[in-house]
Amino acid sequence: MEKIVVLTGAGMSAESGIQTFRDAGGLWEKYRVEDVATPEAYARNPRLVTEFYNCRRKQLLDVQPCRGHELLAELEGEYDVHIVTQNVDNLHERAGSRNVLHLHGELTKVTSSREPNNPHYIKQLNEDEYEVEIGDLAADGTQLRPFIVWFGESVPMIEDAIRLAQDADVFVVIGTSLNVYPAAGLLNYVPRHIPIYLIDPNEVMWHDPSRLVHINKGASEGVAELIRLLKKRNL
């Protein structure tokens, strides 16, 4: 069974109504990165950062996976599909994808402020627990913080993602500008003979565009077109 590795970014979830960060009207126009998405911000004002992620969690209750999420999950019937996502939402899982690697953390999890990547302290929140309060403690006695990889922090799952890229038979990029590292660097690990499909309605700059098959569509229409191309490729 061929292995398809899919790198997804904010454009994947935008069709579900999840607000993107970098586009016009995105979250960074309302919040400064320095105030809500760095370790320094959390140390300076943990209440503001906690409330920011509480609001983002509650947004998940109002959105559903888009058709693109569903189609990727359905591909598992014919391929060994692995999702590597820059998104912190749970829409891939809710659509049915079974192999999802979150590079930047998961919105529905919280962890220790002292050892955020220690698996003993990572906690999955139920929907009725999405409102984290100052004073809610991890098992090590520190304040619960979002299980999010903030700017300036290492990306602990990147080595696993690199191994997936190296083993891919098909590599797909959906809804990411390829400006965010180290995620964008994954394409450099895809073997030279392996096709790379880029699904994005906008032009995306990469240093080796000749390697990309650009599907100039949004996530849902683009994944449907990808499936057609894969079927044609396997005839």
Q: Taking every pair of C-alpha atoms in the chain, what is the biggest distance, in angstroms?
A: 59
Catalytic residue among 82, 102, 104, 120: 104
Measure Cα distances from 199 to 89, 175, 183, 214, 215 in Å: 20, 6, 16, 6, 5
Tokens of 109: 């999890």
CB 112 within 8 A of CB 121: yes
Q: Which of 135, 160, 162, 157 is nearest to 147 (CA)?
A: 157
Number of alpha helices (DSSP H) and beta strands (DSSP E) in the chain: 8, 9
Q: Is 104 a catalytic residue?
A: yes
| CA 76 and chain centroid, separation | 19
The helix/strand/coil state of 146 is strand
| Residues belonging to the active site | 104
